[in-house]
Amino acid sequence: MNMILNLSSKYRKNEGLVLSPSELQSTYFYGINILDKSGKELSQETYRFFIQAAQQEVEKHLGIRLSKQIITESLDFYGDEFRSFGFIQTTYPVVKPLKLVGYLGQVKQLEYPGEWLSCRSTSDGETYYRRIFIIPTQNTTISQSGVSMLYSGVLPNIGMLNWNHLPNYWTATYCTGFEKIPRDIVDVVGKLASVGIFNIAGDLVLGTAGIANYSLSIDGLSQSIGTTSSAENSAYSARILMYNKEIKETLKKLENYYRNIAVTSM
């Protein structure tokens, strides 16, 4: 006699969260249980929302993408950079360049072969420069105005080397993001998400506000909460003040590291 057993389970697709709601609770809410008026715990959806919001804030502030993804963007042509250093400035760090095409208006003028494109990691290997470097190789076919040309040691005259600036000339496609997100970034995301949750947690206690006044202000990133304090919520206030101080200190270091990489040539 054959028996068939059907099992079903609920699961979520990969949402790109740097930490799960349970990890946030165990790490940043240790010793604190947040309950609503009916005595129920705060929903996982609420934690998930604040984690996603914190990730977006950190990405915008540092000008990076946390999860691995493909970016396609339009970039200006700057003659001095191109002629002197042979690189294209990108918006995000380049983990792997995939495609570089030049357009005059809507007309495709030039497409470099993938063998010519390269990127460069920082000396510690943790991140990459916001550059696509163009390194010519021998016997490589390039496409210029729809015509294939064999590179033979001399950079082809592509018709724009005498220009200093051409807006929206390049269309660059590249991979950005982290294979493994650095723990200091994860820590900032966790603390930012926690601050948002503590904001509503104070209002859940006795149905009144319960978090003391505090503010967080860094260039391009700010949060503020102003509510009344209660003895029952004094732990929230202390936790918020501690997270506030640590977020400000860490973000300044991260900003100097991720946004101020020096210009180099290859």
Beta strand pairing status for 221-225 and 214-218?
antiparallel
In a domain, 5, yes or no: no
Is the domain of 114 the same as that of 89? yes
In a domain, 3, yes or no: no
Decide which of 121, 152, 176 is a domain's last residue: 176
Is the domain of 204 the same as that of 73? no
Helices (runs of H) and strands (runs of E) counted in the chain:
5, 11
The tally of domains found in the chain comes to 2
- Say whether 250 sits in a helix, a strand or coil: helix
Is the domain of 169 the same as that of 216? no
List the domain range (segments joined by +) for residue 80.
69-176
Is the domain of 91 the same as that of 126? yes
Is the domain of 204 the same as that of 130? no
In a domain, 42, yes or no: yes
Is the domain of 245 the same as that of 185? yes
Is the domain of 230 the same as that of 143? no
CB burial of 117-135 (b: ≥16 within 10 Å; e: otherwise) equals: bbbbeeeeeebbbbbbbbe
From first to last of its 266 residues, the chain has per-residue pLDDT tens of 667 766 655 545 556 799 999 999 999 988 777 776 677 788 889 899 999 999 999 999 999 999 999 999 999 988 877 776 678 999 999 999 999 998 888 888 888 888 889 999 988 888 899 999 988 776 666 666 555 544 444 444 455 566 788 889 899 999 999 999 999 999 999 999 999 888 777 655 544 444 444 454 555 555 555 544 443 444 577 888 899 999 999 999 999 998 865 444 43
CA angle 129-135-141, nearest 5°?
135
Residues composing the chain: 266
Decide which of 149, 176, 203 is a domain's last residue: 176
Is the domain of 156 the same as that of 250? no
151 within 8 A of 141, measured Cβ to Cβ? yes
Is the domain of 56 the same as that of 187? yes
pLDDT in tens, 56-81: 999 999 999 999 999 999 999 888 77
Distance between CA 202 and CA 229 in Å, rounded?
Answer: 9
Is the domain of 93 the same as that of 130? yes
